[in-house]
Amino acid sequence: MSQQLPLIMEPEQLEQLLGEDNLLVVDMSRKSSYLEHHIPGAVHLECTSILANRRPVMGLVPSAMRLEEVLSNIGMSNDTTVVACDDEGGGKAGRLLWTLDLLGHRNRSLLNGGMCAWRAENRPLSSERASQPPGDYMARLGSKQLITRQELLESLDDPGMALLDTRSPAEFRGEDLRAARGGHIPGAVNLEWTRLMDPERNMRLKPEAELRAMLEPLGITPDKSVVVYCQTHHRSSLVYVALKALGYPSVKGYAGAWSEWGNDPDTPIET
């Protein structure tokens, strides 16, 4: 494809582009959902294949070699234009886009509303499993979009950093315990990721004005370096994409997230 696609791709835009050379739709839905019906030509990718786990810490970044293998196997090369979708709100698709950002892969988009919007609007579907010839992806991991536990510890008192916890309020308060300890990282504010979705528009992201009206009163403003996290940087990946689409210049994801922070007895917490 010769054109640069927007970071947030509307279903009607994608429908017009299906079949274009060098366009790859990556469906990260449950395999059973993909096999039942998917966007024509879309390939399936399990989200677990782009994660590394060291229990109890989950959701870490795999090696560049592993990512090369996974992305090449679905037919990707470094110049492929990727549109990612899933059937659960955009967390899995967002995690792929964040990973591609780590790799410096600029030709990537999120399908707004994912398969929920696509199906609800009676757009074309296929049950034929798509296959692509292997690609030759060359992976070079950067760090601009990633923050580590140590870096985060050293930045907790930085007034230029804003911490956004995208888990549920119960997790944030430590009432829903999913690690050895409950609570949140000191200084974080809470905005559950599902609040970014508009059920009246088939789970698309809410309009820009509504998103800003939720974020800015919390101190999540474009002049800050924003760090997003959840339990494994799954839910927070969608929020990362939304912030990038809003033009926030500095957004980072904490990959280990609460599965790392909450299981480390030496990290400070608030409840």
Q: Give the 3-state secondary structure of residue 228.
A: strand
| Residue 9: φ, ψ to 5° | -100, 125
Q: Which residue's entry shows tokens 């509307």?
A: 10
Strand 161-165's sheet: what is its strand order?
Answer: 189-190, 161-165, 225-229, 251-253
Question: What count of Cα atoms within 13 Å lies in the side-chain half-sphere of residue 130?
Answer: 20
Q: Is 230 a catalytic residue?
A: yes
Q: Strands 204-205, 225-229: parallel, antiparallel or unpaired by DSSP?
A: unpaired
| Dihedral class, residue 159 (left if φ above 0, else alpha if ψ from -120 to 50, else beta) | alpha
List 47, 85, 116, 230, catalytic entry: 230
Question: Do residues 211 and 205 touch, judged by C-beta distance below 8 A?
Answer: yes
Instruction: Determine the Cα–Cα distance for residues 174 and 162; give it in Å rounded to an integer.
Output: 20
Q: Give the 3-state secondary structure of residue 264.
A: coil
Q: Which residues form the catalytic set? A: 230
